[in-house]
Amino acid sequence: MKAYVFPGQGAQFSGMGKDLYDKSSVAREMFENANTLLGFRITEIMFAGTEEDLKQTRVTQPAIFLHSTILAAVMGESFNPDMVAGHSLGEFSSLVANKTLSFNDGLILVSKRAMAMQKACEKTPSTMAAIIGSEDSVIEEVCASIKDIVVPANYNCPGQIVISGTNEGIDKAIEILKEKGVKRAIKLAVGGAFHSPLMEPARLELEEAIKSTDFHKPVCPVYQNVDAQPSKDPEIIKSNLVAQLTSPVRWTQIVINMISGGASHFVEVGPGNVLQGLIKKVNREAVTESATF
């Protein structure tokens, strides 16, 4: 069985999607539609913008979403998933790919999500850090022991968790974890504490948008970030998508559950190959590849 997976924020690069635009009339039409919906020519930034241009919140998330969903569309009949999943932002791409959301509705939600997260980031100085070479339980215990907000945000693969919280909380967690002998603790260049309670204002804002959007019965299950379980129920999918902003991304468990559900082949749809690397660290026997058209 084939599992299609969709990357999240951080996979962007200058020039992303230009090959799709140049070679496919379907892609051109979808990109131009996106320019109209967003109210600015995101294609100009994607195709020729600098790394700094692409880091703008209003650009980054829609850009990755567009690259993934348009690539899936251009693949045509060869895109035939048995199951899908996306890492954080990538979950929205996966829901367009499996027909839960229309392309237009997905793009509008992603744009609103990006703006809501940016506003939440501006309320409290906060950040994230990658912790490498420690047991999950040790990181969880350290986070729970700190009075400032700091929580596990991404369970990426065995031995790699990203934590999220206030600047003070992250600094304290790194200090304690280094004392406990973690291999590496690296602060990430992000604007705030994604997938933490500090995203509550964004969650409330996005909840309203999600509630007013049509969600359809998908063509295949989506394994969602919040619980790592497969679902084809539009109401469950909606609820989990709302909860995603303040809950951890359970990517390790998603990969394990997809394999248990019959996945033998993983195809990464979108910029980069980060998810393929994480999947291999969860199960080195897994077959992975990048989507092509």
List pLDDT tens digits, range 18-56. Answer: 999 999 999 999 999 999 999 999 999 999 999 889 988
Whether 179 maps to a domain, the answer reads: yes
**24, 111, 126, 195: the active-site residue:** 195
CATH number at residue 167: 3.30.70.250
**24, 68, 88, 126: the active-site residue:** 88
CATH number at residue 275: 3.40.366.10
Query: What mean pLDDT comes out for the span 61-73?
Result: 97
38 and 85 part of one domain: yes
Q: Is the pLDDT of residue 73 over 90?
A: yes
57 and 147 part of one domain: no
The b/e string for 160-182 (b: 16+ C-beta within 10 A; e otherwise) is bbbbbbbeebbbbbbebbeeeeb
Q: Which domain holds residue 212?
A: 2-122+197-290
63 and 102 part of one domain: yes
- Tally the domains of the chain: 2
Confidence of residue 176 (pLDDT cuts 50, 70, 90): very high
97 and 157 part of one domain: no
73 and 180 part of one domain: no
Confidence of residue 254 (pLDDT cuts 50, 70, 90): very high
Query: What mean pLDDT comes out for the span 263-274?
Result: 96
52 and 113 part of one domain: yes
Report the candidate in 283, 229, 284, 277 with the shortest Cα–Cα distance to residue 7: 277
Query: What mean pLDDT comes out for the span 180-200?
Result: 93
65 and 140 part of one domain: no
- Cα separation, 26 vs 163, whole angstroms: 39
* pTM > 0.75: yes
pLDDT at residue number 56: 83
148 and 78 part of one domain: no
Say how many Å lie between the first and final Cα of the chain, rounded: 20
- Six-digit token pair at 95? 């829901």
pLDDT at residue number 57: 79
Whether 207 maps to a domain, the answer reads: yes
Percent of the chain with pLDDT over 70: 100
- Cα separation, 260 vs 140, whole angstroms: 26
13 and 85 part of one domain: yes
Q: Is the pLDDT of residue 190 over 90?
A: no
Respond yes or no: is residue 195 known to be catalytic. Answer: yes
Query: What mean pLDDT comes out for the span 218-228?
Result: 98
Whether 277 maps to a domain, the answer reads: yes
Domain boundary among 143, 159, 187: 187
76 and 51 part of one domain: yes
Respond yes or no: is residue 88 known to be catalytic. Answer: yes
List pLDDT tens digits, range 154-168. Answer: 999 999 999 999 999
List pLDDT tens digits, range 87-128. Answer: 999 999 999 999 999 999 999 999 999 999 999 999 999 999
Whether 192 maps to a domain, the answer reads: no
67 and 176 part of one domain: no
Q: Is the pLDDT of residue 183 over 90?
A: no
Hey, how many other C-beta atoms are within 10 angstroms of the C-beta on 212?
A: 8
Whether 30 maps to a domain, the answer reads: yes
205 and 90 part of one domain: yes
